[in-house]
Chain A
Amino acid sequence: ETGVTQTPRHLVMGMTNKKSLKCEQHLGHNAMYWYKQSAKKPLELMFVYNFKEQTENNSVPSRFSPECPNSSHLFLHLHTLQPEDSALYLCASSVEYAAGGGEQFFGPGTRLTVL
């Protein structure tokens, strides 16, 4: 595997379900990101982990819970989601999370549908 991989690619879940999204980067990077992409909106940064420490939580509801066990893996645990949470969830990585150092590399995303 190369680059940034995400599983599953598609997920349909009910509002009472619990599921997890997985991201893995094979680039030797130290920063990993979760973004939400919805139609007609710019990419929304959700969480940032830099050297395994959470450095950004962009006022994300607690029904989204990130986990970063090491610099290569990132999870997003989902529970009691709402239909408006349906979106494309993108994982990205970069060398580190630093001022002006913007080159982020994205995975293919998980298309999430909440019924």
Chain B
Amino acid sequence: GQQLNQSPQSMFIQEGEDVSMNCTSSSIFNTWLWYKQDPGEGPVLLIALYKAGELTSNGRLTAQFGITRKDSFLNISASIPSDVGIYFCAGNAGNNRKLIWGLGTSLAVNP
């Protein structure tokens, strides 16, 4: 089935560093969602984006809905050990009700 291209696949950073990850689609999306999943848990919604160009923050997290409507970015500033986990992007394209998912970016933070 359709999936989003999410990159990078994994990141290993030092505590305090900033992190950037992105998601791209071959089709125009109406909604972009960013989730975080901790080991043994379900994904938790971090940020929802509904408008092209929209920039939304949630604490140290900032996400943007790309102007082309085919991409989205998630930035984490001043990373801390509890940021460790897998970050997923997801979105709706056109009139589709189904969410399309990326494969995730695995983040490791070295204290």
Contacts and interface: CB of A to CB of B under 8 A. Distances in A.
Interface of A: 4, 6, 40-45, 48, 56, 90-92, 97-109, 111
Contact of A108 (B41, B50, B96): B41
Interface stretch (B13-21, B60-68, B73-81, B87-95): B87-95
A98 B94 CA distance: 11
B91 A102 contact: yes
Contacts of B4: 42
Given A4-B42, A90-B42, A104 B97 contact: no
A99 B33 contact: no
B88 to A, nearest CB: 8
Interface residues of B, number: 29
B11 interface: no
A100 B102 CA distance: 17
Which of B35, B44, B97 has the largest count of A CB atoms less than 10 A from its CB? B97
A44 B3 CA distance: 10
A102 B103 contact: no
Say what secondary structure dominates the interface of chain B: loop
Interface in B83-109: 88, 90-92, 94-103
B91 A108 contact: no
A99 B97 contact: yes
13 contacts: A42-B1, A43-B88, A43-B90, A43-B99, A100-B30, A100-B50, A100-B95, A102-B31, A102-B90, A102-B99, A103-B33, A103-B48, A107-B42
Interface in B4-44: 4, 30-31, 33, 35, 40-44
B85 to A, nearest CB: 13
Contacts of A56: 98
Nearest to A43: B101
A100 B33 contact: no
B92 A41 contact: no
A99 B48 CA distance: 15
Contacts of A111: 40
Given A43-B99, A100-B92, A100-B95, 5 more contacts: A42-B103, A43-B101, A101-B31, A102-B91, A111-B40
